[in-house]
Amino acid sequence: MWNRLYLTTVSLQENYSSSKMTLAAYREKMRELPLVSLFCSCILPKPLETSSNKKEGVVDLNLCNIRDMEVIELSKRTSGQAFEVILKPPTFDGGPELTTPPRQKPSLEEIQKKLDAAQERRKCHEAEMLKHLAERREHEREVAQKAQTKERQEHRADADKEQRQMHLNASQERLQEEDKHSVEVRMSCRRRRRRRRDSG
């Protein structure tokens, strides 16, 4: 598909005909058009002169083709010149093609190596998981064992405290019994002495 632009140039220099303009002036005018610069950057290099009777650096605007652009004159006036610029769509013929290299079909040996590597990774992952579970169980066992040891120590401490209290109570009862017995013995001795005095 062609893109058409309608342009009007300023008056040409006096030393050239109305259908001629310098390539430098033509380039400067074309550079002012953003669409031309965008779609056709090929106008910047100098075109090859095919005719020997043309002056160097002159573009024929009556009918000329510059690579991907065609210029056709529409009207000529003393104040300027109007012409049509037809731009071809950008093509990539002859340019380097960006293609991905074809993938080689893997051999049975490569497939087997990949399967073995995947199996090894799976085994390592399972071993790591089992190790993690074993460490977690060992930690839980240590925590439970510490809790049981603490509970036994507390139970033993309570039992020892209760036993000491019972032994203390028994000792106090024995002391009280001994005190009571000694009091009774003293009272009995006093009664005997009184009886002896009374009888003597």
**Alpha-carbon span 98 to 72, nearest angstrom:** 36
Q: What is the pLDDT of residues 33-84, one digit of tens each?
A: 555 555 555 444 444 444 444 444 444 544 444 555 666 777 666 666 676 7
Predicted TM-score of the model (pTM)? 0.32
Percent of the chain topping pLDDT 70: 53
**Alpha-carbon span 157 to 65, nearest angstrom:** 111
pLDDT of residue 145: 94
**Alpha-carbon span 192 to 199, nearest angstrom:** 10
Q: Which residues of 104-127 are buried (b: 16+ CB within 10 A; e: fewer)?
A: eeeeeeeeeeeeeeeeeeeeeeee
Determine, yes or no, domain membership for 66.
yes
Q: Which residue carries 């003393």 as its tokens? A: 78
Determine, yes or no, domain membership for 123.
no
Q: What is the pLDDT of residues 150-194, one digit of tens each?
A: 999 999 999 999 999 999 999 999 999 999 888 888 888 888 888
Determine, yes or no, domain membership for 46.
yes
Determine, yes or no, domain membership for 126.
no
pLDDT of residue 133: 95
Determine, yes or no, domain membership for 41.
yes
Strands 80-87 and 69-76: antiparallel
Q: How confident is the model at residue 98 (pLDDT cuts 50, 70, 90)?
A: low
- More confident: 26 or 195: 195
Determine, yes or no, domain membership for 43.
yes
Q: Give one DSSP letter per residue of 112-179, joined into a string.
A: HHHHHHHHHHHHHHHHHHHHHHHHHHHHHHHHHHHHHHHHHHHHHHHHHHHHHHHHHHHHHHHHHHHH
The number of distinct structural domains making up the chain is: 1
Determine, yes or no, domain membership for 77.
yes
pLDDT of residue 93: 55
Q: 103 with 20: CB under 8 angstroms?
A: no
Lowest mean pLDDT among 11-20, 107-116, 129-138, 176-185: 11-20
Whose CA is closest to 181, among 173, 191, 169, 170? Answer: 173
Domain residues for the domain of 7 are 3-87
pLDDT of residue 7: 53
- More confident: 31 or 148: 148
Determine, yes or no, domain membership for 195.
no
